[in-house]
Amino acid sequence: MIYTVTFNPAIDYVVQTPDLSLGIVNRATSENMFFGGKGINVSCVLKELGIDSEALGFTAGFTGEAIEKGLADMGIRTGFIRLKSGCSRINVKIKSSEETELNGKGPDIDDESLGLLFEKLGTLKKGDTLVLAGSVPSSLPADIYEKILKTLDGRGIRFVVDACGELLLNVLRYRPFLIKPNNFELGELFGVNIKTDADIEKHARKLREMGAANVLISMAGDGAILIDEQGNTHRCGVCKGEVKNSVGAGDSMLAGFIAALTERPGDYGYALRLGTAAGGATAFSEGLAQKSMINKLLKQTEI
């Protein structure tokens, strides 16, 4: 089973307006609501690709109830811990001449609730996959990723980590199956300016030497590079289409990659292709990727 963790889920309220002006009333020309958070995004795209997962994390208040019900209606299993106070956040995404985001803070997570999450994680079995993605709320320890991997280390669980900075570096000792920094985050990890594919490959291999089995580097409009667990390099360009949405594209790439390896274990070329197609399908849509678009874009991909 695949498990995703979203510490701070959200309802993403996406509105479009021709021109955003401060200090006056702005009228939306369209609006949509999605259930957000990086782990949730991964679970949603996995479901679209026919792969079951269970979404874990924390919810609170009426917005938390809406998130849980919405995911259940989509056929996604959930195991959220219900917090005693607060409300799950609402993130406002304004699409105008420029894209503007106002992300909510979210509820505080108490020690008792965190302990309940660790109890759930303790039920994971050999062969399961655990996806940890995104930043850590201020009410949680800054080293929470490290604590989780340390607790589950040695049990045959595949760890997938999408994080940056110290949050990522500190988990490498636990040999995550897959990490996915982008090219800018890769440069920040080593304090260098990444300019070429050779630079990316060089520093991605350093991350493998530090413990990661597979290192996937996304490069926005320049495609992606994967150094797989055998040390092989794979490169894939981007799909062609009109970019409409930047939210969740990286999460969708992660989901496509995981789904591909579920279908074809060890086929890393196909995993990179499906990940690229899934990321592109989200970028070219108003919401998260749909299977029909993913399959269409998969035909464009080439390793």
Whose CA is closest to 241, among 183, 303, 181, 289?
289
Tally of CA atoms within 13 A in the half-sphere of 174 that contains its CB: 26
User: Which of the residues 12, 162, 228, 251 is marked catalytic?
Assistant: 251
- Interhelix angle 183-190/197-209, rounded to 10 degrees, is 60
Which CA distances in Å does 19 have to 13, 27, 29, 98? 17, 9, 10, 9
Q: What is the DSSP letter of 191?
A: T
Asked if 251 is an active-site residue, the reply is: yes
Whose CA is closest to 130, among 107, 109, 156?
156
Evaluate whether 36 touches 247 at the Cβ level (below 8 Å).
yes
Catalytic residue list: 251
